[in-house]
Amino acid sequence: MSEPLNEPGEADAGKSTSSQTATAIASGPPEYVVRCGSMRTLGVMTSKQSYRYGDEVIVRTDRGTEIGTVLCEATPTALDSMNEPTMGRIVRAMSDDDRSQWRHLESKTSDDLDAANRCVESLRLKMELVDVERILGGERLVIYFLADERVDFRELVRKLAKEFQTRIEMRQIGVRDEAKLLADYGDCGQPICCATFLSKMPPVSMKMAKLQKATLDPSKISGRCGRLKCCLRYEYDTYEALAKELPPPGSVVLTREGSVTVIAQDILSGQLTVKTDDHRRVLIQSDDVISIVSRGEELGKPRRSRTRKPRDPDSGTK
């Protein structure tokens, strides 16, 4: 049999800052980056044994005893991509008994969600439950929910604690987190990024889609969460750097054939579509540009205000 999940006298691990994490790695026991929980949270876990990528392990975090997957060693490079990782320790490799217990907990998810929804309805709270997560060690039940406004769920927590006989953690999430919990595959046919490797989800703007000449049809550039796809950000820095090397549309440039006006850029190929004085459209290479006579407005930069100045009532002009 496997050792007990809850070891006597073991203190729950807390969170630490990046600097504390780096110090621990330099002087402490070997550490690994481990992904655990329904939200696929990344944590830095100490260990007395060696593990490899993909190993399933039992970890102790501030939430309790959980199942985790080893991703890599906690190197400085790995830590740079993490945002305040959870600290904890690897208790042991996952056993058959652990898998059996986890499958049992997973089979109760639907019933748990139904029971929690009944409690919400009885209190007429304006919130939508998305998912429930039981911690392997039984320390708590985490309930993820959506709400448009602040919700006082203190009475709900009391009812849920009585219903499930465990500690209740209510966690409000956004639509991107909802997709992370429930969605499976994206339009590309691959598992969605936020559920596999993304640990940070910075904002994505329409400017990024425009610069990459992506379609502006919302149905084609929106992810499972309904927001702009995270992948629009992946190559944006490269596009932005290459775009700066080309004269923006509206620029007048000098070539061996004379002055022409830039109509459009092909950023990846370094080509420009230009209009000649006789109104012909010609495709040229950026190397054909001898000099820039006047520069057009770059994408994303604010336009100059065209608002007329108010007339001075004392000026006497009409």
Please give the chain's pLDDT, 318 residues, in tens.
444 444 444 444 444 444 454 444 455 678 999 999 998 888 999 999 999 999 999 999 999 999 999 999 998 888 887 777 788 999 999 999 999 999 999 999 999 999 999 999 999 999 999 999 999 998 999 999 999 999 999 999 999 999 999 999 999 999 888 988 888 888 888 988 888 878 778 889 999 998 888 788 888 899 988 899 999 999 999 999 998 889 999 999 999 889 999 999 999 899 999 999 888 999 999 999 999 999 887 654 544 444 445 555 555 444
149 and 86, same domain (yes or no): no
At 98 the pLDDT is: 95
Residues 15, 26: Cα–Cα separation, whole Å: 18
- Residue 301 resides in a domain: no
141: burial class by Cβ within 10 Å (0-12, 13-18, 19+)?
A: buried
**Other Cβ atoms within 10 Å of 255 Cβ, number:** 17
Residues 315, 318: Cα–Cα separation, whole Å: 9
At 17 the pLDDT is: 45
165 and 206, same domain (yes or no): no
- Residue 62 resides in a domain: yes
- Residue 146 resides in a domain: yes
Spatial contact of 293 and 300, defined as CB atoms under 8 Å apart: no
The contacts of residue 301 (CB under 8 Å, 6+ apart) are: none
108 and 169, same domain (yes or no): yes
- Residue 66 resides in a domain: yes
Domain boundary pick from 149, 173, 197: 173
At 212 the pLDDT is: 87
195 and 227, same domain (yes or no): yes
- Residue 310 resides in a domain: no
Domain count, the chain: 4
34 and 84, same domain (yes or no): yes
Q: Is the pTM of this model over 0.85?
A: no
At 12 the pLDDT is: 44
- Residue 53 resides in a domain: yes
120: burial class by Cβ within 10 Å (0-12, 13-18, 19+)?
A: buried
| Spatial CA neighbour of 180 closest among 138, 144, 149 | 144
**Full domain range(s) for residue 223:** 178-236
Domain boundary pick from 94, 121, 143: 94
Which residue type occupies 24? Answer: A
311: burial class by Cβ within 10 Å (0-12, 13-18, 19+)?
A: exposed
CATH number of the domain enclosing 131: 3.30.300.20
23 and 90, same domain (yes or no): yes
167 and 186, same domain (yes or no): no
At 301 the pLDDT is: 54
Domain boundary pick from 135, 157, 173: 173
Which residue type occupies 292? Answer: I
At 218 the pLDDT is: 86
26 and 39, same domain (yes or no): yes
Spatial contact of 35 and 71, defined as CB atoms under 8 Å apart: yes
- Residue 299 resides in a domain: no
- Residue 308 resides in a domain: no
202 and 152, same domain (yes or no): no
33 and 87, same domain (yes or no): yes
Q: Which region, left, alpha or beta, applies to residue 100 given φ > 0 means left and ψ of -120 to 50 means alpha?
A: alpha
CATH number of the domain enclosing 262: 2.30.30.140
